[in-house]
Amino acid sequence: MMEPTLRAVVFKEGDWWIIQLLEYDLATQVRRLEDVPGEFRRLLLGQMAANASLGVEPFYGFSKAPRRFWTMYEQARALVTPTPLEEVENEVAPRYEARLAA
């Protein structure tokens, strides 16, 4: 069953901003900080669509992110207000939230 809120920690590594999902060990990257919200949504919806096309539950087979990312998240500030994923066609659309670790 998919988590009701999907969280990510955002941090800079070299020239890239890394977006690391916590509930599922999945990540993406962007060059500009202002691109984080859109890329986070794209990552979630894209993975959910890929799993749906295979006929499996969203994020099937992914384990939780390593503890170091959870610690970064706990010490970070909010970057994206928790927002529902409106495009999801199920009864309980998950919400997503990202925090900036700087």
pLDDT at 30: 97
Residues 23, 79, 95, 16, CA torsion sign: negative
> How many separate domains does the chain show?
1
Q: What is the CATH number of the domain that holds 28?
A: 3.30.160
Answer yes or no: are the C-beta atoms of 98 and 39 closer than 8 Å.
Answer: no
In this predicted structure, the answer to whether residue 90 has a pLDDT above a threshold of 90 is: no
CB contact set of 45 (below 8 Å; sequence gap of 6+): 85, 87, 88
pLDDT at 98: 84
For residue 31, give its domain range.
Answer: 5-100
Kindly report the pTM of this predicted structure: 0.83
Q: State how far the Cα of 68 lies from the Cα of 14, in Å rounded to an integer.
A: 18
What are 22-54's pLDDT values in tens digits?
A: 999 999 999 999 898 889 889 988 998 999 999
What values do phi and psi take at 17, rounded to 5? Answer: -100, 120
Element (H, E) at 97: strand 95-100
